[in-house]
Amino acid sequence: MKNNDRKMQIIKAADKRFARHGFHKTNMDEIARDIRIGKPTLYYYFESKDALYIEVIKWEFENYLEVVNQIFSNDEHSIENRFEEYFIKKDSVRNDFKLIFEIIVQFIAERTTEAETELLKEYLTKEEEIIKKVLVYFYKDKIKAVSKSLPYSVVMLSWMIAVGRKVSSQLNSEKEFLTLENIQEIINALLD
């Protein structure tokens, strides 16, 4: 097996462990056992559990950003439909990208490590750049420039909706937080 293949195998196994049990309840022995390698092999690729965890978070963020790019690159859908899909996709982040969602929640609770906070800033900036490109393209014939705060605000709003929906579902399952119709209204206001 090639080094990159083995490294990716370790990252994927660690992602499952960290997502299921959290950072503190996961140990390197379990990850090694999951993929039937020796613990020294893990340390050949990653100097510590912390280093492996950071690589797993980066991998999740890269996969997430790829999904966002795919949504906005889909020329078969209108710009409104792409934004709708983007906002709706945030609902699945807590299941599809559990570590990202957990870091967002931990950041709100002011419980992230410095490394997690720096990664969060880095990848939210990358997400903001994607949104900025889309908005600049959409508004190119309508206004001179897109406000610098608009892409950032869209990204923050999308994450607030994702976290808000999770909190709302836990507090009151009878009430729906931001229906699809509400999300469409937000998008229409954004693009009008």
Q: What string of pLDDT tens digits covers the 192 residues of the chain?
A: 677 899 999 999 999 999 999 999 999 999 999 999 999 999 999 999 999 999 999 999 999 999 999 999 999 999 999 999 999 999 899 999 999 999 999 999 999 999 999 999 999 999 999 999 999 988 887 766 778 899 999 999 999 989 988 888 888 777 778 888 888 898 888 887
pTM of the model: 0.91
For 19, the token pair is: 């997502």
CA atoms within 13 A on the CB side of 150: 15
Are 49 and 32 within 8 A, CB to CB? no
Q: How far is CA 78 from the centre of its chain?
A: 23
For the chain, percent helix, then strand, then coil, each to nearest 5?
Answer: 75, 0, 25
| Residue 35 buriedness (CB in 10 A; 0-12 / 13-18 / 19+) | middle
* Rounded Cα–Cα distance for residues 159 and 38 (Å): 39
pLDDT at 172: 79
